[in-house]
Amino acid sequence: MAWRWQLVTILLWLPSFWTDWSKSSRGHVLNLDSEVPLSIASKEYRAAFHFQPPQNWINDPNGPMLYNGIYHLFYQYNPYSAQWGNITWGHSKSIDLINWTPLDIALRPSDPFDRQGCWSGSVTILPGDKPVILYTGINESGHNVQNIALPKNISDPFLVEWVKPSYNPIMVAEGVDPTQFRDPSTCWLGKDGLWRTTIGAEDFERRAKALLYQSKDFVQWRSAERPLFSTNSSSMIECIDFFPVSAKWKRGLDGSSMGSKEVKHVLKMGVFDNSHDYYLIGRYSEELDVFTPENVGEDDHRMWLRYDYGSFYASKTFFDSDKRRRVLWAWSNESDTISDDIVKGWAGVLTVPRAIWLHKNGKQLMQWPVRELESLRREKIELKDVEVSKGGLIEIKGVKTSQADIEVEFELPELEKAELVHHEWKLDDAQMACNEMDASVPGSIGPFGLLILASHDLEEHTAVFFRVFKTRTDYAVLMCSDQRKSSLWPELYKPVFGGFVGMDVKEGKISLRTLIDHSVIESFGDGGRTCITARVYPKLLLSGDTHMYVFNNGSETVKIRELKAWEMGNAQIN
């Protein structure tokens, strides 16, 4: 469809408008005539299609699975408060990964082996379609131990009740700090008939290890002679996920797939030091029970890739056998204060479920929201072949900009005009670069992208954008999500996130998809090669006067090759 002028307002402002973002009158943000006082505890900040319980605290997703045609999601949950603590396993079910029905809490602290909490873990489906939970408990001595839980009634399609056998715990710490030993992964079955799981740990010299445990019967477990993987670059690693990926197809693989040259493995680790999820791609040797990363030089976790460069942690995947895909979830925490959370009565959301696969280059993973999310798309607008010159703003109208799905493809100018970078950036330099070169700092090719949840004078906005640089030998694309002006609430954490997009920019185009859900912004650069999740709380959301713009603050004109934006409906969640 040709783009329609009545759907957009094009404002070619002078470049000086970029320096005026912080100036302002606040009348449009504050509804002074309203009888309801403005509060960050407003229900307007609750998500409409991201998973969260009706109230209280949520963190790590645990044990997602497909069982007898029904998706199950467990999660770390405090049933009594919006603060972290009193940790149980919440439980919900779905037939489409988007709409969820709550079930009874699956696991509560009740026994000596989990008296101080039922912490993160996984679900493995054993032969005969028998699901089993492995989870970390903290015992009465304060030590981490690994426990098992079984369905009370295997014929119950919803698996509401779970029992903990008296022979728990089934794994205890050996040669590592017993207070730093947690989060068993989904298990896989070797050709030798042994089940295996990996558990995050820290030894007494503060070195991180992905320990390996083996079992014939899923009851008696023994520690392997060597860890699956270890690193000296961090202390504790947690919430480990270990799974195979196809080097040939986008479809997912069962956790026990191995042995072929076309199968690689992904080891994902949550680094406790900075609460980021990192991953490595490599080869797993079943004979040696060792994972060997590919294309990794120095032992430095900061040089590893990340699923997401924003508010994203404790991720977990599962294999969806019906649709032959691997699906990823993660926890996105709040950016307000604990006292704010207590007043509003809830804290934490999960990212939208994402399909995940290995890029054809074999060097990184790709992510994309599951197709079922598109069922929530409502009103749609389109633009095509619109040039955005220096200082240009194009307002996107016709959809509710606080609850939307936007896909845009940009056509780039001649790359020779890109700014020259006189040093080689490392992977962990991206956030620093975004912090120094924000959307208001003019460049050559960029910054260009979206201004989201914005006021009409841009006093409040979140900028998601790209910049293209020329290096000594190639080009580098920087993707940023800048929340520093996202809200007028003073107490918020408003960071800048950034990642490099490892793409071949010589093709002359780059794409961006962004999901906006009140206080959640998830962005996917270049088809899901680089992802950034942000949590924002603009005051203007309380008045409903939100705007969205495409902008360009580079000296070179970029073109909107195509833009599609949908207003999103509400999912039925819990």
Residues 321 and 413 in one domain: no
Cα separation, 182 vs 180, in Å, equals 6
Comparing 10 with 233, which gets the higher pLDDT? 233
Average pLDDT for residues 549-573, to the nearest whole number?
A: 97
Neighbours of 218 (CB within 10 A): 17
- Amino acid occupying residue 449: G
With residue 282 as reference, give the H or E element that holds it: strand 276-285
Scanning the structure block, which residue is given the tokens 């000594």? 472
**Which residues are registered as beta bridge partners of 131?**
125
Given 369, 398, 418, which residue is the final one in a domain? Answer: 369
pTM, 2 dp: 0.92
- Pairing type for strands 276-285 and 520-525 reads unpaired
What is the residue range of 407's domain? 5-30+372-568
- Amino acid occupying residue 534: A
Residue 364 belongs to some domain of the structure: yes
**518 near 403, Cβ under 8 Å?**
yes
pLDDT band at 471 (very low <50, low <70, confident <90, very high): confident
Give Cα separations from 447 to 115, 429, 465 (angstroms).
52, 17, 6
Instruction: Give catalytic residue positions.
Output: 60
Residues 10 and 100 in one domain: no
**Which residues are registered as beta bridge partners of 386?**
560
Question: Tens digits of per-residue pLDDT, 30-40?
Answer: 333 344 468 89
Residue 35 belongs to some domain of the structure: no
Cα separation, 306 vs 308, in Å, equals 5
Residue 108 belongs to some domain of the structure: yes
Residues 521 and 541 in one domain: yes
**122 near 329, Cβ under 8 Å?**
no
Residues 521 and 399 in one domain: yes
We report the CATH number of the domain holding residue 351 as: 2.115.10.20
Average pLDDT for residues 197-205, to the nearest whole number?
A: 96
Neighbours of 15 (CB within 10 A): 12
Total length of the chain: 574
> DSSP letters of 428-464?
GGHHHHHHHS-TTS-BSEEEEEEEEEE-TTSSS-EEE
**61 near 318, Cβ under 8 Å?**
no
Is 90 exceeded by the pLDDT of residue 407? yes
Phi-psi region of 118 (alpha: psi -120 to 50; beta: other; left: phi over 0): beta
Comparing 26 with 165, which gets the higher pLDDT? 165
- Tell me which DSSP letter residue 502 carries: -
- Which pLDDT score is estimated for 422? 63
Residues 363 and 410 in one domain: no
Residues 315 and 422 in one domain: no
Cα separation, 357 vs 364, in Å, equals 9
How many structural domains are present in the chain?
Answer: 2
Residues 541 and 436 in one domain: yes
pLDDT band at 431 (very low <50, low <70, confident <90, very high): very high
- Tell me which DSSP letter residue 16 carries: G
Take residue 41 and report the two structure tokens written for it.
Answer: 């505890």
Residues 433 and 538 in one domain: yes
Cα separation, 245 vs 266, in Å, equals 7
Cα separation, 533 vs 9, in Å, equals 28
Question: Tens digits of per-residue pLDDT, 105-124?
Answer: 999 999 999 999 999 999 99
Residues 445 and 552 in one domain: yes
pLDDT band at 421 (very low <50, low <70, confident <90, very high): confident
Q: Where is average pLDDT lowest: 163-177, 498-512, 545-559?
A: 498-512
Given 320, 354, 369, which residue is the final one in a domain? Answer: 369
Residue 539 belongs to some domain of the structure: yes
Could you tell me what percent of the chain has a pLDDT over 70? 93
- Which pLDDT score is estimated for 35? 44
Average pLDDT for residues 460-477, to the nearest whole number?
A: 93
Return the sign of the alpha-carbon dihedral for residues 17, 22, 23, 25: positive
Average pLDDT for residues 543-568, to the nearest whole number?
A: 97
- Which pLDDT score is estimated for 37? 64
Q: What angle do CA 27, 30, 36 make, to 5 degrees?
A: 145
Give Cα separations from 188 to 191, 244, 350, 414 (angstroms).
10, 10, 25, 49
With residue 147 as reference, give the H or E element that holds it: strand 144-151
- Average pLDDT value over all residues in the chain: 91
Cα separation, 388 vs 12, in Å, equals 9
Cα separation, 7 vs 143, in Å, equals 60
Scanning the structure block, which residue is given the tokens 């015992």? 139
Could you tell me what percent of the chain has a pLDDT over 90? 85
Neighbours of 175 (CB within 10 A): 11
Given 342, 369, 396, which residue is the final one in a domain? Answer: 369
Question: Tens digits of per-residue pLDDT, 22-80?
Answer: 333 222 233 333 444 688 999 999 999 999 999 999 999 999 999 999 999 999 999 99
**476 near 443, Cβ under 8 Å?**
no
Q: Where is average pLDDT lowest: 195-209, 212-226, 346-360, 413-427?
A: 413-427
The terminus-to-terminus CA distance of the chain in angstroms comes to: 38
Residues 89 and 179 in one domain: yes
Residue 101 belongs to some domain of the structure: yes
Sequence-separated (6 or more) residues with CB below 8 Å from residue 329: 51, 61, 64, 73, 315, 316, 317, 350, 351, 353, 354
Cα separation, 227 vs 419, in Å, equals 45
**413 near 557, Cβ under 8 Å?**
yes
pLDDT band at 491 (very low <50, low <70, confident <90, very high): confident
- Which pLDDT score is estimated for 343? 94
Average pLDDT for residues 346-372, to the nearest whole number?
A: 97
Cα separation, 145 vs 174, in Å, equals 11
- Tell me which DSSP letter residue 554 carries: B
Residues 381 and 363 in one domain: no
We report the CATH number of the domain holding residue 441 as: 2.60.120.560
Residue 573 belongs to some domain of the structure: no
Phi, psi of 435 (to 5 degrees): -65, -40
Residue 38 belongs to some domain of the structure: no
pLDDT band at 477 (very low <50, low <70, confident <90, very high): very high
Residue 12 belongs to some domain of the structure: yes
Comparing 322 with 258, which gets the higher pLDDT? 322
Residues 250 and 348 in one domain: yes
Phi, psi of 569 (to 5 degrees): -80, 180
